[in-house]
Amino acid sequence: MEAWFLSDIHLKNAEERNGQILLRFLRSLREKNPREVHLFLLGDIFDLWVGGHQYFADKFKDLTEILGELRKSGMKITYIEGNHDVHVEGYFQKKLGIEVFVEAQFYEIDGLRIRLEHGDLINLQDYEYLRYRSIIRNPKIKPLGNIVPGFVWSYLGNRASKKSRARSGHYRAKNESNLVTMIRAHAERVYDEKPFDVIISGHMHVFDDHTFKIKGHDVRSVNLGSWFEEKVRVFRLKDGEGSWVTID
């Protein structure tokens, strides 16, 4: 079994650099034995996708088409929503057959117990974001995802994204060591919920790969960083071994 883990690409359109890198990567997976590959998308793949709107599917047509082809060829694909791609099951699950989740999920891959999540609950001190999350994840709000037209969501999202990225980018540059501490502390905190061998997350836009002991057990904590770096790296598990792979 070969498993690939991607997050925090934040695609605005499929034609930009990272859109083309993602497209080439997905096409390369098509050349493998699809039934032996599990692709995990751990949120914020798109800078904005709300609901099951065809508007977003058309905007990222080449990417959604190749994802659909991979599913039809037998590849398993799992999508855990982030904070920029919300309520997407209306398209990805219902139309492409991709399983979609919001909260952390557990898988056993080649004998390793893996915990997967977007990572937006790592920083429990970000009260502003937690309030925002409680609103967008409210079941009463969910129907608006499909009622409000896609182009309206796109307009509103682009305005909010510019402000958020400027603020979060400045904070991240000054507090990277604190963010790494949060990532590792989170691994220790959630281990009590259900033990695991590897925890993989995103959201924090900080690459971190750290192995340490929790209650006498070796645990590997991986944060996938983001695709804003000069070189794009993704995480792979193959034959029980985890490694970073640079793609272009």
Which strand ranges, in their side-by-side order, compose the sheet holding 217-224? 105-109, 112-116, 198-201, 217-224, 207-214
Sketch the domain layout of the chain as residue ranges: 2-174+228-247
Q: How confident is the model at residue 162 (pLDDT cuts 50, 70, 90)?
A: low
Give the per-residue pLDDT at 172. Answer: 64
Q: How many angstroms separate the CA atoms of 226 and 202, rounded? A: 8
* The pLDDT of residue 158 is above 70: no
* The pLDDT of residue 175 is above 90: no
- Three-state secondary structure call for residue 188: helix
Going by CATH, does the domain composed of 2-174+228-247 fall within 1.10.1740?
no
Long-range CB pairs of 125-129 (<8 Å, 24+ gap) are: 129/83
Give the per-residue pLDDT at 139. Answer: 82
Q: How confident is the model at residue 201 (pLDDT cuts 50, 70, 90)?
A: very high
Q: How confident is the model at residue 52 (pLDDT cuts 50, 70, 90)?
A: confident
Give the per-residue pLDDT at 65. Answer: 97
Length of the chain equals: 248
Pairing of strands 112-116, 198-201: parallel
Average predicted confidence (pLDDT) for the chain: 90
Share of the chain above pLDDT 90, in %: 76
* The pLDDT of residue 126 is above 80: yes
Give the per-residue pLDDT at 152. Answer: 60
Q: How confident is the model at residue 74 (pLDDT cuts 50, 70, 90)?
A: very high
Give the per-residue pLDDT at 135. Answer: 86
Most confident of the ranges 109-113, 149-153, 170-174: 109-113
Give the per-residue pLDDT at 163. Answer: 53
pLDDT (tens digit per residue) in 75-122: 999 999 999 999 999 999 999 999 999 999 999 999 999 999 999 999
